Structure 1
Amino acid sequence: CTDSDTTFVTLREPPVLDLGPDLTVCPTDSFRLDAGVGEPATFEWSVPLETDSTLLITEPGEYTVQVQADNCILYDTAQIDMYPAPLASDITGTAVVCPGTQDVQYLTLDTLGSDFFWSVRGGVLEPTASKSEIRVDWASDNDDAEVRVVETTPDGCISDTVRLPVRVNVELKPDTPVGVDTLCTTDSIQTYRTQTTTGSEYTWMIPPAAQLRSTQGASEVTLEWTEPGLWPLYVAEANTTQDTACAGQSDTLWVYVYEDEAAADLIAVSRETPTSERIQIQVAAQAFPDSIRLQLYRRPLGGDWALLVGLFPINAIPTDRPSFGSADIFEYKIEAVNSCNDPIITPNHPTLFLQVDTAGGAATLRWNPYTGWDPATTEYAIYRKLDQQGIFREITRLPGTTTEWEYTDTQASFGHQFFVEARGSTPQQRSLSNLDSAAFDNPIFVPTIFTPNGDGVNDTYAFGNIHLYQPNTFTVLNRQGKRVYEVENYNNEWTGGNLEEGVYYILLESPWLGTPVRTPVSIVR
C-alpha cells in the first residue's frame, strides 16, 4: 500500500532593525536609540539591565543591541559622540553701581566661534562690536538687577544661563582688592586692582607700611611695602551721575609682609687631623627652618663645581673624602633657597695645603690662603714636632696675609714635622692643613783639643750638635787604655777633671750614630 502527505513552507521577509546613523550631539541633548522592529520582540542592549526597545543616551560611546523576533536574531550598533560642553564662563563687571550710571562694561570669556545672547534686568543693554562684551546703562535704585548671558557654540550647543546679580544703589561696594597678599620684603613692589566702573573715582586707603608708586584715582594701584607685618588695604569708590552722588568702600584685603632672615654660612672646612684625608664641614645657621634644604658643592681649586650632596637638612652636614691624589686643594660651598625664593650662597672655603721646601740648610713653609674668612681677623699657627718629641707644639703665629715662612731652627732635630692651623675670629673657625716634613743631616762635630784653664773659652770638651745624639755613652781613656772618665747622656760638661795635659782617647756611642766616634783629644791647660 502507499500513502502521501504535503507540507507547505512559507518564507517571509525578516524584520528591519535600524538604530540610525552614528551621531555627535550636545551634552545637554536628550534622546533615545530606538530598536523597535514593528512586532513583538525581546531586546538586549550592551548597557547592563536595559531590555526596553529604546535606550536613553546620556554619555558618549558605542551602543549595541540584540533583537529576537519570531526566531529571527538581529544586531545593530550606533556610535554616539558628544561635542565639547560650553564653558559657561562667569561674567566680569561691577556688581554695585550708582543709579543712572551709563556705559558700564560687562564681559565673559570669548570662546572662538561662539555666539552670546545677553539680557539685562534693571537697565538698558547696549551691544558692542564684541559678542562677549556689552555695555549697560543702569536706571534707578534696584536691589534685584541682573546681567545674564547664554553661550551657543559653533556646534550648536547651548550653555546654562550665567547670571551676575547687580545692586543699583547710592551705597557702592567696590570689589575687595585683588593682588598678592603674602610676600617677602624682597618682593616689595606689588600691584592691586578692583573692578572698574565707568565714571567712578577710586581712593586707595594705604597703610603706613606702604608707599604709593602710582597715582590715586584709578582702579589699579602700585605699592611698595617697606615694613614687615600684617597690613590692611581697601579702596573707596565715588561716582556722581546727573542727579545722584554715590560712594562706598570695599572689604579689606589683609597683606602679610615678612622678612626671611634665614642665613647659612660655612664655619670651616678642615681635615679631621693633619694626617687624615677626611674633610669636616661645619655650617652656621641663623633663623634657618628645617624645611629648607642645602646643597653642598665641591671642586678642585679653580676647577668646575660639582654637586656633592643635594637637599640635606642643616643638622646633617656630611663629611667628605676627596681624591687628594688628583688635586692638592679642594674648595667647598653651600647653596640654598630661602622661603622668599632668594638664593643663599656661602663664600668658598678651601682645604689647606702645606708644602715644605728645603734648600741651603734652611726650610721654607708655604701654604694657600684660607679665603673663607676675613684676612684681617685670620691668623696661621705653625706647629712642629721633632724626632725627640711625642707631641706637636706651636712654634709661631703669623697674620692672615702671610702664606710663607722661613724656618731656620734646623739643628733642633734630624726630622722636623709641620702642619698649619688657620684660625678665624671664633673658636669654631679652625682649619688644619696636611702634614709635611723636612730632614737635616746635622752631623756631629768632634773637636781634637780643648783648653780647660778657667778662662771661659773652650773650658769643656764640646761636641757640635751633641743634643741630637741623645741618649749616648761618653768614655775617656788614657794612653794606657785605662778608663779615666765615663758618663751617660753626655752633654758637653766634661772639663778634664784633674787629668794632666796630654793626649787622651774618647769614645762616643749613640743610637743616632751609625759608627761610634773614636778620636784622640789633647788637653792643653
Structure 2
Amino acid sequence: VADAGPDAALCPGSTVTLGTAARTGYTYAWSPATNLSSATTARPVFTAINATQAPITTTYTVTATTAQGCVATDLVLVTVNPSPLPDSIQGSQSVCPTVQGVTYSIRNPRSTNYQWTVVGGTIASGQNTASITVNWNGANPNASVQAYAINGTLCQSTPVTLPVRINQLLQTARPTGPTNICQANGPYTYQTVLTAGSSYAWSIVGGTQVTSSANTVTVQWTRPGIGKIAVFETTDPSGGRCISQTPLDTLYVNVLPSPAANLAITGPNRACVNGGNLSFTLPGAATSTYAYTLNGTAISGATGTVTLPVPANPGTYTLTAIEKNSSLCSGPTYSKQFVVVPALTITGPANYCPESRTGLSFTVGPVASALPNANYQWTVIGGTITSVQGTGTITVDLPAGSTNATVQVSDVNSAGCGATFTVRPDNASVALQAASVVAGDRSITLQLNVPNNAGNASQVRILRRVAGSGTFAQVGTVANTATSFTDSNVDADANAYDYRLELQNSCGTVLQTQDHTTIRTTATATEGQEGRDEGKVKVSWNAYRGFDVKEYRIFRTSDNGTSTLVATVSGGTLQTEFASSTAGFDQCLRVVAVSSANASVTSASNDACVSFANDLVFYNVITPNNDGLNDKFEIKNVGLYPGNSLTILNRWGKEVYRASNYNNQWDGAEQAAGVYYYLLKLPGGKSYKGWFEVVK
C-alpha cells in the first residue's frame, strides 16, 4: 500500500509533511525530490519556495516496496501560491510630539489588504487598507510604521518599515521635483512630505514662486545655472510648537538655458509649382539642431536652414521648426505658412514676321495674373520692352532678323515663379519663278521658291484661272520646301492660264506672288505658190506675264523630229512669219519666253501645229554655168521624200545618171545640151516621169 497524503496549498516559506506513517518492512521513494527533506522516508517535509507571481503546482509520486518486492504508488499535488511583492511606505519621517492624524500610505499599492504596526503611536484609522492615519505620542527617536500585504491566497509579503523621528526640531524632508530642467519649459512643481497640521514656507534662489498649496509649490526659473529650493516647516500641536531644524535640506536644480523664444521663420510667402527649391531659415544658434515638419509630416533638415522642393500641388502649406540647443532644451514651435500657386505661363505671339514685329503684347497666364501683390519683372532678349514693368502685360518691339527672341517674366514677391517664352522669326516669302507648258499641252509646271522657310509650317496654295477671266481657284498645295508643282488638269492649246501662289505666315498674313500668265501659241500655214515659192508659217502668241521678257525663241519640230530653234524675236514682239514648208509636212511650233534677269528662267508655250502638202515640182531647164540659177536638176520638195530613186536618160534612151535619195545634186555638166528624160520612183510605188532641157 502507498499513500502520499492529502493535496496541499501553502505560501512561500511554509512547510508541510507529505505521506503517512511508515509500514514495517516497506521502503519508500519520492519523485521528484525537489524541496523535500528526504526522498526515501515515508513522511518527507516539503518547504514552499515560489519567487514568481503565479502559483506553482508540483505532482509528487511516492513508490512503496514491500519486503517481498511488491510495489505500489500514489500521487499528491502540492501548490505553492505566490507572496505579494514588497511595497514601500510614504509619509512623514520627522513629526512633532503628540501630533495627530498623520497619514502614511503604501506607495503604488499592488494589494488591497495591508496589516499595519506602529511603534511610538497608535493607528487612528485605515487598518487592512493601503493607507492609515497615526496619532503620535511623545518624543521618541525610534518610532516606526510597518506594513505587509496579504493577497487572496492569504500569503504575506515581506514586511517593510519606515523609521519615524518624534522631536520638536523637525528634520523636514528635502523637496522633491525635477532637478535637471530647461528654463523656458516651466513652471515646475516641487513638494515635500505632507504632515497633518504643518505649515510650509518656501525659499527659492534663481526663480520665482508662482503658486503654493499645502506641501507643494510651483516655480518659474528665471536664469540658467544652479537654482536652489528649500522648505521651512512649522506646527503647533498640544505638545508644544515644532519647527524645522536648520540648516534646511536644500534641493539643487540644474537650470539649463532654452533656445530663444522670440524668433521667426524667414522665407518666401509664395512659390510656384515646378519652381525649384525653397529655402527657409530659423535664426537660432549655430550649435543647435532643428526639426521641421511640412503640413504635419516630418521632413529632413537639421540646421537652421532647410531646403525643400516646391510642393507639386497648389495650396496652402504650413512649415514648423523647433530648435534644440546643445543642452538638449527645445524652444517653442515656430510656424510659417506659404502658398503654392500654379506655374507662371506667358501668352502672346509665338512668331514675329517682317510686317508684324512691333507692339507685340505678352501676358502672364490667367491664373498667375490674379496673384495678390504680384510684381512682375520682364526681360526680353533680342528685343525692346516699350511698356512699363511690374504689370502682367508688356508690349515689345523686335528687330527684323532671323534670330529667336526670348521673353522672360518673374514675380519678385514669389519664389521660383518665372516663365520663359520663345518668339521665333518667320521671314518666309513666296516666289513664283515661272509657269511653263509641258510637252503634250495638258499639264503646266510651276517653278517656285519659299526663301527663309525655317520658321514657317504652312503649305503653299496653288491658285489658277483662265487668263484674264473669273476668280482664282485652288488647284493644289505643296510643302513650303517644294521647288515645283505640276498642274495636270489644263488644256494649254485652248487657253492661257493665270497662276498665283499664296502662303500664310505664322503671324496670320497671307503672302501672295505676282500673277504669272502662260503663253498660248497659234500658227497658220500658207502653201508656197508656183515655182520656187516656199510655203510660210505665221506664229502668234500672247505676252508672258510674270517676269520681264528679254526675247522669245521659236522652236520647230518637223515630222516628229527634234526641236530646232528657228527664230528669236524681241520681248515686245508677239508674232512672226517665216518660210517653213521645206522643213516637213507636219510642223509644231513652240514659243519660249526668256527672262531678262536670268536666261535660265524660261516659260514654254503649247505646241501650235500646221501641215504642208509639199507636192513635188520638177523644173525643166538646167543651165550649168555656176551662176547660182538653174545650175542643177531641181525637184522641189524632193528632200521630203526619202528612199526615192532617180534615173536620167538622154534622148536616145541611154541612161546617163542614176541616184538613190536624190536631193537636187545633178548638174549635167558632162552631158551635151539637149533634151533629157527623168524617172523618179518613190518607196510606196508611185513614180513621176517627164523631160527637161540642158542649155549650154
Q: TM-score, normalised by structure 2?
A: 0.47
Partners of 1:202 and 1:214 in 2: CA distance: 9
Q: CA deviation at 1:74?
A: 3.2
Question: Which residue of 337, 357, 376 corresponds with 1:347?
Answer: 337
Q: CA deviation at 1:186?
A: 4.8
Partners of 1:405 and 1:332 in 2: CA distance: 26
Asked which structure has the greater CA Rg, the reply is: 2
Give SS of 2:337's match.
coil
Q: CA deviation at 1:515?
A: 9.2
In the alignment, which residue of structure 2 is the partner of 1:435? 419
Q: Mean alpha-carbon deviation: is it higher for 142-151 or for 43-52?
A: 43-52
Contact between 1:141 and 1:168, CA under 8 Å: does it hold in 2? yes
Q: Which digits, 9 at most, give the CA deviation of each residue in 1:285-334, with x for residues without a partner?
A: 4237676543345xxxxxxx8x4x646544896754865xxx5x466553
In the alignment, which residue of structure 1 is the partner of 2:231? 235
Partners of 1:288 and 1:212 in 2: CA distance: 33
In the alignment, which residue of structure 2 is the partner of 1:279? 276
Go from structure 1 to structure 2 and tell me whether the alpha carbon gap of 1:311 and 1:28 turns closer, same or farther (over 3 Å shift): farther
In the alignment, which residue of structure 2 is the partner of 1:18? 4
Larger RCO, structures 1/2 (Cα 8 Å, 6+ apart): 1
Q: CA deviation at 1:236?
A: 0.5
Contact between 1:270 and 1:279, CA under 8 Å: does it hold in 2? no
Go from structure 1 to structure 2 and tell me whether the alpha carbon gap of 1:166 and 1:113 turns closer, same or farther (over 3 Å shift): closer
Partners of 1:75 and 1:130 in 2: CA distance: 41
Go from structure 1 to structure 2 and tell me whether the alpha carbon gap of 1:410 and 1:294 turns closer, same or farther (over 3 Å shift): same
Sequence identity, in percent?
18
Partners of 1:129 and 1:44 in 2: CA distance: 44
Partners of 1:279 and 1:175 in 2: CA distance: 63
One-letter code of the match for 2:168?
A: V
Contact between 2:378 and 2:407, CA under 8 Å: does it hold in 1? yes
One-letter code of the match for 1:58?
A: I
Is 1:408 equivalent to 2:405 in the alignment? no
Partners of 2:369 and 2:9 in 1: CA distance: 78
Partners of 1:514 and 1:171 in 2: CA distance: 114
Go from structure 1 to structure 2 and tell me whether the alpha carbon gap of 1:147 and 1:81 turns closer, same or farther (over 3 Å shift): closer
Partners of 2:154 and 2:208 in 1: CA distance: 52
Give SS of 2:398's match.
helix
Go from structure 1 to structure 2 and tell me whether the alpha carbon gap of 1:353 and 1:99 turns closer, same or farther (over 3 Å shift): same
Q: CA deviation at 1:444?
A: 10
Partners of 1:224 and 1:420 in 2: CA distance: 54
Partners of 1:32 and 1:514 in 2: CA distance: 123
Q: Aligned runs of 1:145-184 on 2, under 5 Å?
A: 145-184=143-182
Question: Which residue of 108, 114, 133 corresponds with 2:106?
Answer: 108
Go from structure 1 to structure 2 and tell me whether the alpha carbon gap of 1:193 and 1:412 turns closer, same or farther (over 3 Å shift): farther
Q: Aligned runs of 1:506-521 on 2, under 5 Å?
A: none
Give SS of 1:362's match.
strand
In the alignment, which residue of structure 2 is the partner of 1:260? 259
One-letter code of the match for 1:104?
A: V
Q: CA deviation at 1:144?
A: 1.7
Partners of 1:291 and 1:148 in 2: CA distance: 51
Q: CA deviation at 1:162?
A: 1.8
In the alignment, which residue of structure 2 is the partner of 1:383? 379
Partners of 1:319 and 1:45 in 2: CA distance: 71
Q: CA deviation at 1:95?
A: 0.7
Q: Which digits, 9 at most, give the CA deviation of each residue in 1:402-425, with x for residues without a partner?
A: xx432111435785434444557x
Partners of 1:181 and 1:369 in 2: CA distance: 58
One-letter code of the match for 1:78?
A: L
Contact between 1:64 and 1:78, CA under 8 Å: does it hold in 2? yes
Contact between 2:275 and 2:343, CA under 8 Å: does it hold in 1? no
One-letter code of the match for 1:287?
A: A
Q: CA deviation at 1:355?
A: 2.0
Go from structure 1 to structure 2 and tell me whether the alpha carbon gap of 1:47 and 1:111 turns closer, same or farther (over 3 Å shift): closer
Question: Which residue of 394, 402, 406 corresponds with 1:417?
Answer: 406
Q: CA deviation at 1:440?
A: 7.9
Q: Which digits, 9 at most, give the CA deviation of each residue in 1:154-186, with x for residues without a partner?
A: 432222222111112232121222334444455
Q: Which digits, 9 at most, give the CA deviation of each residue in 1:227-263, with x for residues without a partner?
A: 4443211111122344643322642223326423387
Give SS of 1:163's match.
strand
In the alignment, which residue of structure 1 is the partner of 2:49? 58
Partners of 2:369 and 2:266 in 1: CA distance: 16
In the alignment, which residue of structure 2 is the partner of 1:462? none
In the alignment, which residue of structure 2 is the partner of 1:9? none
Q: CA deviation at 1:94?
A: 1.2
Is 1:192 equivalent to 2:193 in the alignment? no
In the alignment, which residue of structure 2 is the partner of 1:72? 71
One-letter code of the match for 1:353?
A: A
Partners of 2:342 and 2:306 in 1: CA distance: 20
One-letter code of the match for 1:346?
A: K
In the alignment, which residue of structure 2 is the partner of 1:478? none
Q: Which digits, 9 at most, give the CA deviation of each residue in 1:424-447, with x for residues without a partner?
A: 7xxxxx8333433264879899xx
Structure 1: where are the runs of 5+ without partners?
1-14, 298-304, 399-403, 425-429, 446-468, 470-511, 521-525
Contact between 2:86 and 2:160, CA under 8 Å: does it hold in 1? yes
Contact between 1:43 and 1:66, CA under 8 Å: does it hold in 2? yes
Contact between 1:417 and 1:437, CA under 8 Å: does it hold in 2? yes
Question: Which residue of 21, 27, 31 corresponds with 1:40?
Answer: 27
Contact between 1:118 and 1:150, CA under 8 Å: does it hold in 2? no
Give SS of 1:118's match.
strand
Partners of 2:370 and 2:511 in 1: CA distance: 47
One-letter code of the match for 2:59?
A: Y
Partners of 1:293 and 1:351 in 2: CA distance: 26
Q: CA deviation at 1:346?
A: 3.2
Structure 2: where are the runs of 5+ without partners?
51-55, 324-328, 350-358, 430-454, 456-506, 515-545, 548-696
Contact between 2:118 and 2:143, CA under 8 Å: does it hold in 1? no
Q: CA deviation at 1:219?
A: 1.9
Count of aligned pairs between the two proteins: 401
Partners of 2:6 and 2:274 in 1: CA distance: 83
Root-mean-square deviation (CA), in Å? 4.9
Partners of 1:172 and 1:432 in 2: CA distance: 72
In the alignment, which residue of structure 1 is the partner of 2:208? 210
Go from structure 1 to structure 2 and tell me whether the alpha carbon gap of 1:254 and 1:189 turns closer, same or farther (over 3 Å shift): same
Q: CA deviation at 1:143?
A: 1.9
Question: Which residue of 326, 329, 334 corresponds with 2:319?
Answer: 334
Go from structure 1 to structure 2 and tell me whether the alpha carbon gap of 1:408 and 1:113 turns closer, same or farther (over 3 Å shift): closer
Question: Which residue of 214, 218, 222 corresponds with 2:218?
Answer: 222
Go from structure 1 to structure 2 and tell me whether the alpha carbon gap of 1:126 and 1:51 turns closer, same or farther (over 3 Å shift): closer
Go from structure 1 to structure 2 and tell me whether the alpha carbon gap of 1:64 and 1:112 turns closer, same or farther (over 3 Å shift): closer
Give SS of 1:348's match.
strand
Contact between 1:381 and 1:420, CA under 8 Å: does it hold in 2? yes
In the alignment, which residue of structure 2 is the partner of 1:358? 348
Go from structure 1 to structure 2 and tell me whether the alpha carbon gap of 1:443 and 1:311 turns closer, same or farther (over 3 Å shift): closer
One-letter code of the match for 2:188?
A: Q
One-letter code of the match for 1:18?
A: A
One-letter code of the match for 1:355?
A: T
Q: Mean alpha-carbon deviation: is it higher for 310-319 or for 243-252?
A: 310-319
Partners of 2:201 and 2:226 in 1: CA distance: 21
Q: Which digits, 9 at most, give the CA deviation of each residue in 1:115-165, with x for residues without a partner?
A: 423222x33443458744433333343222212223333432222222111
Question: Which residue of 188, 199, 206 corresponds with 1:201?
Answer: 199
